[in-house]
């Protein structure tokens, strides 16, 4: 369909939005155009490659757009992703989500539309894909590469939990926003002498709770990697409150955190295309229980609670400095690999150095907080020791 130049690169963003996606799209596009490539932006993540109708008379403008310097420069300093995003997994498309013209062909409850995706890539003339996303989005990039397609991936997620890299696009802005919002809310906590309990993102990994706490935003944090005892946590929070002249204390709680005898808390039974139920609610549950338990450790007096989900407030808005610089570097790293004929790689930051790793690292392991090294399990807070030779954000990906 497209007239090929040196080659045609497709780029997409999948999963949750974060600040830094548009700078990454900009970096890839400008470098690629100057090297003689054409760049096609796929809309709505992998979903845009599922919905294409391979007919020259069909209107596919909702699924992709040709990228120019003007387009990416206009968006490149802003948050979010102008290509839009989805959690579509073409390898597991629900029957009701199969495009109408394919519903006679794919009739299972879950359908693998990878053959259609490969045909659609060929139809668009795309010979290399650069997906930007977390481990779910990139896991389908692994699948495409295993099918023989050229893929170079860029890691993005506020949770900072993509294996193989110490840093994922969006994490710095998330930490910056979390610290700022916590500092805004602490004035209310102090005015009313309450506990302030803030639920932050983090399904399996507690980095977004750990780093702001380490930076002094909170007294305590509980994370998915270590189940907590609510009585002990309440006792610690009461002590913190009594020691504070303003009579308040702050807890950051990862959405995937669990009671000692409990499981993750879900909003409902619905799951996304990667099988994940929507998390949420642990902050409110802990708030209610901590209020009930507080008289036990506070001379019989109840401590009221301010409970707040930070949620989308930490993923909206413009990128900070790090999430403007790292996406630029990641985009150019990806082009270096493409120009060198190297594929099946994930661009990474390791120990303060830009590098690349085999793409299948994304599906072969998990990146979690090393509790023994970084988390004080008796005090529910980070350890403040052994920082020598650690990278900028302290906790590394060990693989």
The per-residue pLDDT for 398 is 74
In terms of domains, do 257 and 348 share one?
no
In terms of domains, do 210 and 282 share one?
yes
User: Taking the CA of residue 340 as centre, how many other CA atoms within 13 Å lie in the half-sphere pointing to its CB?
Assistant: 12
The answer to the question of residue 391 being in a domain is: no
The answer to the question of residue 61 being in a domain is: yes
Burial bucket for residue 386 (CB in 10 Å: 0-12, 13-18, 19+):
exposed
Catalytic residue among 17, 135, 136, 159: 159
The answer to the question of residue 290 being in a domain is: yes
In terms of domains, do 227 and 113 share one?
no
Tens of pLDDT, residue by residue over 211-255, are 999 999 999 999 999 999 999 999 999 999 999 999 999 999 999
CATH code for position 280: 3.40.50.460
The per-residue pLDDT for 396 is 84
The per-residue pLDDT for 2 is 46
| Domains contained in the chain, number | 2
Tens of pLDDT, residue by residue over 132-191, are 999 999 999 999 999 999 999 999 999 999 999 999 999 999 999 999 999 999 999 999
In terms of domains, do 244 and 325 share one?
no
Q: How far apart are CA 69 and CA 27, in angstroms?
A: 10
In terms of domains, do 274 and 130 share one?
no
In terms of domains, do 117 and 156 share one?
yes
CB atoms within 10 A of CB 339: 15
Q: How far apart are CA 397 and CA 152, in angstroms?
A: 19
In terms of domains, do 293 and 325 share one?
no
The per-residue pLDDT for 280 is 61
Q: Nearest 5°: CA angle at 170, between 380 and 140?
A: 105
In terms of domains, do 203 and 276 share one?
yes
CATH code for position 34: 3.40.50.450
pTM of the model: 0.93
Task: Band the pLDDT of 272: cuts 50, 70, 90.
Answer: low
Contact (CB, 8 A) for 253 and 197: yes
Range of the domain at 239: 172-311+371-382
**159 is a catalytic site residue:** yes
Helices 171-192 + 322-339 axis angle, to 10:
160
């Amino acid at each position: 369909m497209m007239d090929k130049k040196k080659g045609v690169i497709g780029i997409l963003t999948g999963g949750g939005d974060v600040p830094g996606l548009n700078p990454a799209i900009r970096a890839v596009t400008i470098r690629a155009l100057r090297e003689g490539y054409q760049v096609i932006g796929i809309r709505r993540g992998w979903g845009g490659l599922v919905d294409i109708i391979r007919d020259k008379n069909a209107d596919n403008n909702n699924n992709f757009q040709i990228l120019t310097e003007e387009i990416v420069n206009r968006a490149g300093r802003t948050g979010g992703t102008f290509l839009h995003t989805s959690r579509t997994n073409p390898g597991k498309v629900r029957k009701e989500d199969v495009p109408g013209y394919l519903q006679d062909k794919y009739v299972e409850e879950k359908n693998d539309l990878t053959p259609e995706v490969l045909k659609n890539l060929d139809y668009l003339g795309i010979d290399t894909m650069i997906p930007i996303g977390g481990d779910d989005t990139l896991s389908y990039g692994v699948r495409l590469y295993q099918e023989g397609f050229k893929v170079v991936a860029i890691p993005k997620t506020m949770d900072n939990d993509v294996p193989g890299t110490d840093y994922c696009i969006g994490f710095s802005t998330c930490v910056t926003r979390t610290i700022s919002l916590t500092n805004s809310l602490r004035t209310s906590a102090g005015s009313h002498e309450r506990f302030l309990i803030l639920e932050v993102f983090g399904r399996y990994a507690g980095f977004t709770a750990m780093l702001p706490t380490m930076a002094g935003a909170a007294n305590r944090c509980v994370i998915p990697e270590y189940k907590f005892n609510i009585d002990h946590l309440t006792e610690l929070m009461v002590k913190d409150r009594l020691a504070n002249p303003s009579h308040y204390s702050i807890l950051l709680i990862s959405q995937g955190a669990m009671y000692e005898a409990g499981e993750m808390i879900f909003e409902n039974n619905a799951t996304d295309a990667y099988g994940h139920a929507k998390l949420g609610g642990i902050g409110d549950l802990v708030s209610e229980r901590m209020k009930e338990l507080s008289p036990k450790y506070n001379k019989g007096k109840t401590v009221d609670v301010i409970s707040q989900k930070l949620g989308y407030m930490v993923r909206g808005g413009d990128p900070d400095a790090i999430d403007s610089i790292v996406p630029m570097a990641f985009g150019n790293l990806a082009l270096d690999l493409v120009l060198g004929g190297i594929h099946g790689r994930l661009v990474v930051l390791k120990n303060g150095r830009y590098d690349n790793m085999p793409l299948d690292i994304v599906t072969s392991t998990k990146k979690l907080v090393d509790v023994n090294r970084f988390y004080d399990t008796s005090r529910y807070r980070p350890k403040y020791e052994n920082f020598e030779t650690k990278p900028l954000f302290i906790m590394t990906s060990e693989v």
